[in-house]
Chain A
Amino acid sequence: MSEQFSRRDFLKLAGVGAATTAILTGCGPASRYVKREPYMQMPEYNYNGQSTYYATTCRECAAGCGLVVRTSQGRAIKTEGNANHPLNLGKTCARGQATLQGLYNPDRVTNPMKRASRGADSTQAMDWEAAIQAVADALKNNKPEEIAFLMGMAPDHLFDLVTDLAKATGMNAPVRFGALGMFDARATLSKAAENLFGQASLPFFDVGGAQVVFSFGANFLETWLSPVSYTRGFAGLREAQTKQRGKFVQFESRMSMTGGKADEWLPLRPGTEALVALAIGRLAAEILGGSMPRVFASVDPKDAATKSGIKLETLEHLAEMFASSNGALAIPGGAALGQSNGLAVAEAVLALNALSGNFGKPGGVYLSALAPNQTEYNRPASAREMQALVQNMFDGKIKVLFVHGVNPLFELPASLEFGGASKYVSQIISFASFPDETAREADFIFPDHHGLESWGYQRVATGSAQPVLSGAQPVVSPYYNTRATADVLIAAAQLAGGSFAAALPFKDEVEFLQSKIASLMSEADGSISGPDIATFMAYFQQHGGYWKLTDGRGAPSAEDMLNRTIAAEEAEFAGEGEFFFVPFVSPTLAEAGANKPWLQELADPTTTVMWNTWVEMNSETAHELGIENDDMVKIVSEAGELEAPVYVYPAIRPDTIAMPFGQGHTAFGRYAEGRGVNPADLLGSHFNEAGDLAFAGMKVKVTKTGEKKLLSRLESVMGVYGIGLGEEK
């Protein structure tokens, strides 16, 4: 405050102002001037003024959490978790809560449309008849093997429909991809399970029942696999009323929100995770006594300590903790697997579980339960499989590409050149609900309903002991002139005739859904059953899906796991530069939350930054380089370069920088566009043995640009660091 105007004066004036405002505005019931739109046709089961609740499935990610949505007068007004749903037991994450802002998003695609030319802003509205004709023509006028579907990881019913269509007609099987799957390194986990247990599956880690949890890079409280379920598990680990409070150790080079909750956080050198896991295994095996398992025999703990930057005493102490616990669990995930040696890391960490002997036991490792109408685990495509698709596009083998539920131009690293390859595809038809980057490069957009307006089901891939088929139903009538993609495909297949019509002999999407769940009607151990499909479907909608009442998880066979050899080499890093580069999925936005202001405004849990992209850099490194908070830096990798402001972060290794993935949209509506940068632009096309992208296997150069860009954040720079705080004169 200046000399003329003291803090006290300011408060006085503010008081007078507040009183005046209160007098002027507080007197009349201003809320009187509201308008009400009553139903045009009110459903019989509705009462005025009383909410109606519908159970459905969240479609913000592919985990398949159950929701109960409160609606009033035909408007969805609040989402909460479905308390009976075995996966999330009544809980949701922030993204689940924000799904309403997708429904009411002002930038939704409201009509089927044709784009004047790819990338152009001008579009021409179409009616649905013409749209369906366009899809039918695309199916009919091309050879089946020239037609490809690229789909997101949700919803599963549409994937099943397209799979059926592809099987019957010889079309390419649909490819599923999602950035979350890529950053989760699902292909690596699944491959490790296949190598070690003889079965490709998504392992399930029972955090809730464990006593000690070692997580190697798995950000399971944020976006990893099934965050709501794992958060519940974590609460179980920490619960101390009925048992001893469980301990949690996180190994990662940059402190994630999950790492922030750990008892011990170990910033190891990126690429040394396998070494560290094996060294801990060796030391623990020595404590346990008996013969040294072959898998740990070749590793030298001293060497591991030197290479990883973790002290030998610390490793010994961790081994002691692991060996002395009767419920030790080790989880591999996230950036630890997204490296050239990711598969070895996954295997080494799973081998620790073999040492602990926790396979198929509470607090241990299981094979995830398959959903009720599922026969094998369908893994989303790895980045290498996506590269194969892109190559087919380049080679002109694909003439028509249908895209649903995924935004490859944003989610795939630019170095895979999906954009370049799309120029060789004569027709791209997008079913996007939002005008995202891929929809902008499409010839047609035939918008699907929002998830809350949609029918469907999602298989719970992991996170629940019971096999769960989570059901979705519309909780509101569609607000715009959109149409369910399943309905569009069914109608187009009928028009196309021949094997297409024969593959989808359904009246509409609901009839297709019923055909898929009819077999569950009379199965034993089901949560619901019904004498006929109409009754069963009504229960399915009412309860939000179907699940088994028994534990469907498998126990991995642990034979010979300790007798293997795992190459305990360090990861290789691509590119030149002094810094390891760790991209991580924004815990608040994930891959498609940037168009929802609630999520943009939600402070990042570790840095509290909102509405932007930042670069995390260690305080000491920043000091050496003369970089302060909010200084712009240029990051150069072998694949590209970006500029972003620095957030000086004490909880990151000095030789590492990190960036959140989720911003940097060039389309996707007013809240997302032109905000921040996309770290996927820096990622080169390097893969691990399982085909997952080695996204954490890059080295980058960082230079200060001299500019500043203030990051908005919840923590005040003044309050936290004492900058600019002075005594009142």
Chain B
Amino acid sequence: MIKRIFDWLKQPLGLIAVGIAVLALFSLAAYGIYTTQQPPEQPIQFPHQTHVAFGIQCLYCHPGAAKGPAAGIPSQAKCWGCHNQIAKTQTSLLLAPLKDAVTSGTPIEWVPVAQVPDFVQFNHRAHIAAGKNCEDCHGDMSKVTIAQNPQVFNMGWCLNCHVETAGQDHEKLVKLSDCGTCHY
């Protein structure tokens, strides 16, 4: 039975059909990749640039970056610490979801923007300790509302920086390019 299918595929019409199928698959896959690269919908259109413009440090809201693996999304208690003293919070349409969440005691469901796959053990702390700044990877937050990724967080990109950082120090290079550094 399968032989008959292959025979049919080998004639010109069959080859065209195979071509169309391959093209369709390829387009679907390309579309799939495209959709995953779009910034997802957030519950609040959070303006990073406004907060940076007020002079708030990244680590004020994301202190985990200096302490552990995840930078963390701030708790709404932290948001409210400032916002309950800001008159605009009571009236602003943009801030209504925050007000609702705090008064009703429901958590806000944020969509993380910068993510690496589960098989990568990324730790912020080591990077901050090595003197990296947040914007080196996450871009200039004074220019964006919702965070955007200035680059794809893939392994080549990670390794480029690791190799550059190691420079001529061979021992460091071994450590920084070892598989087990990130995949364990």
Contact = CB atoms under 8 A, between A and B. Distances in A.
Interface in A3-40: 4-5, 9, 12-13, 20, 23-25, 27-40
A33 B40 contact: yes
A535 to B, nearest CB: 27
Contacts of B111: 33-36
B29 interface: yes
Interface string B100-112: 0110011111111
Given A29-B115, A30-B36, A36 B109 contact: yes
B13 to A, nearest CB: 20
A124 interface: no
Nearest to B35: A28
A141 interface: no
Contact of B75 (A4, A23, A29, A40): A40
A104 interface: no
A28 B108 CA distance: 26
B87 interface: no
A28 B36 contact: yes
A48 B68 contact: yes
B12 interface: no
Nearest to B26: A23
B64 A47 contact: yes
B115 A27 contact: no
A130 interface: no
Contacts of A12: 2
A126 interface: no
Interface residues of B, number: 39
Given A23-B25, A38-B110, A49 B72 contact: yes
A42 B70 CA distance: 14
A221 B103 CA distance: 52
Given A37-B109, A49-B64, A29 B76 contact: no
A291 interface: no
Contacts of B138: none
A4 B112 contact: no
B105 A40 contact: yes
A242 interface: no
Interface in B55-103: 62-64, 67-78, 101-102
A378 B179 CA distance: 57
A683 B67 CA distance: 61
Contact of B32 (A27, A34, A40): A27
Contacts of B115: 29, 31-32, 34
B117 A31 contact: yes
B2 A36 contact: no
Interface in B110-127: 110-112, 115, 117-118
A41 interface: yes
A13 B107 CA distance: 47
Contacts of A37: 107-110
Interface string A29-70: 111111111111110000111100000000000000000000
A40 to B, nearest CB: 5
Given A35-B110, A38-B76, A23 B64 contact: no
A13 B36 contact: no
B17 interface: no
Contacts of A38: 72-76, 107-108, 110
Contact of A13 (B2, B64, B75, B110): B2
Contacts of A30: 36
Given A13-B2, A28-B36, 16 more contacts: A20-B25, A29-B36, A29-B117, A31-B118, A34-B112, A38-B73, A38-B75, A39-B77, A39-B107, A40-B77, A40-B107, A42-B75, A47-B64, A48-B72, A49-B70, A49-B72
Interface of B: 1-2, 25, 28-29, 32-33, 35-37, 40, 62-64, 67-78, 101-102, 105-112, 115, 117-118
19 contacts: A12-B2, A29-B36, A29-B115, A31-B118, A35-B109, A37-B107, A39-B75, A39-B77, A40-B76, A40-B107, A41-B75, A41-B76, A42-B77, A47-B68, A48-B72, A48-B73, A49-B70, A49-B72, A50-B70
Report the 4 A-B pairs with minimum CB-CB distance, sorted nearest first: A49-B70, A48-B72, A48-B64, A28-B36
